[in-house]
Structure 1
């Protein structure tokens, strides 16, 4: 069965590390599980407030899969929704502040994955 992505910004599965800043000195490790042009889905052990903005640090691998280099992407995101599933919250976030350079990095990742999907 073929699934058709009807979202405005289709998602691409990834496994990246992230950190979300919950308060003054409170940061929590999280895992990015998919990305789109507009945002990310993370799994996080801590709950967040819907419609609130948070600062995140995403550890994005180099587009060249043979490189060990990673990029630390600092951004601000707004929580669209949060759902507890087993021991982790599945949190959908939308970019509200992202540099042009980092936006290009995300677009390069999305383009690369799209090319691989077309070949399969």
Structure 2
């Protein structure tokens, strides 16, 4: 079975956090990463179409012990109930320009910021 995505997908296991509302931050885990989006797992259902601020803890490809906190915005495209947690597909954007090379190293393809 082939993956027809326009952006290569990387299976990852990164810690993350989602700002649901001011003062309400929940833990999450990034499962899949592309330069177009992420799939994350979280105990809370996220509202489809809603944009959240998230933080991804992205390791260096050269040294996994070196991690960078990448803060961005992400819009929920879908939710799937998986056991007692939810998997959400999200399109992320609005990250700091200095994180572009780190993100590209995981995606394997250069892109420009929107």
User: Could you state the TM-score of these two structures normalised by the residue count of structure 1?
Assistant: 0.84
Q: Helix, strand or coil: the match of 1:105? A: helix
**Cα drift, residue 103 of structure 1:** 2.5
TM-score scaled by length of structure 2? 0.88
Q: State the Cα RMSD in Å.
A: 1.5
Unpaired segments ≥5 residues, structure 1 = 113-120
* Structure (1 or 2) with the larger CA radius of gyration: 1
Offset of residue 11 of structure 1: 1.2
Q: 1:91 aligns with which of 68, 71, 88?
A: 88
Q: Which runs of 5+ in 2 are unaligned?
A: 110-114
Cα distance in 1 for residues equivalent to 2:69 and 2:95: 12
Structure scoring higher RCO (CA < 8 A, sep ≥ 6) equals 2
CA distance in 1, matches of 2:35, 2:60: 17
1:47-71 deviation line (CA, Å, top 9, x unaligned): 1111110000101111213x52110
Q: Kindly tell me the number of residue pairs found equivalent between the two proteins.
A: 109
